């Protein structure tokens, strides 16, 4: 499911949108901040360590770059989306 996920920024092919917004790694010791924070120019969320859980069915670790995916990159992507949808010019 994660490998096939695409959202509106990918459908609109926005310049700052990651090509693959969620990257799943099967390696048991990933994701790791130093190795995975800059995936897809820092705009992708890297997921790994998927395992079954008795309380929530499944557990996993997700990692993203706080500055790029979070504050700065998120703001740029939001602006691109607003322009693409015609809310601002």
Listed by start position, the domains of the chain span: 8-84
Convert the pLDDT of each residue in 21-69 to its tens digit. 999 999 999 999 999 999 999 999 999 999 999 999 999 999 999 999 9
The dotted CATH code for 8-84 is 3.30.360.10
- Confidence category of residue 9, pLDDT binned at 50, 70, 90: very high
pTM over 0.85, yes/no: yes
In this prediction, residue 2 has a pLDDT band, given cuts at 50, 70 and 90, of confident
Nearest to 37 by CA among 14, 61, 2, 10: 61
Q: Return the H-helix or E-strand segment holding 10.
A: helix 8-11
Q: Which of 87, 47, 82, 80 is nearest to 63 (CA)?
A: 47
C-beta of residue 51 within 8 angstroms of C-beta of residue 59: yes
Q: Is the pLDDT of residue 81 over 90?
A: yes
């Amino acid at each position: 499911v994660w490998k096939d996920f695409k959202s509106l920024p990918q459908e609109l092919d926005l310049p700052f949108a990651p090509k693959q917004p969620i990257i799943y790694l099967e390696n048991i010791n990933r994701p790791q901040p130093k190795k995975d924070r800059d995936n897809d120019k820092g705009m992708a969320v890297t997921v790994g360590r998927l395992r079954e859980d008795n309380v929530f069915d499944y557990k996993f670790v997700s990692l993203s770059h706080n500055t790029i995916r979070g504050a700065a990159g998120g703001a740029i992507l939001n602006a691109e989306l607003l322009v693409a949808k015609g809310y601002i010019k």
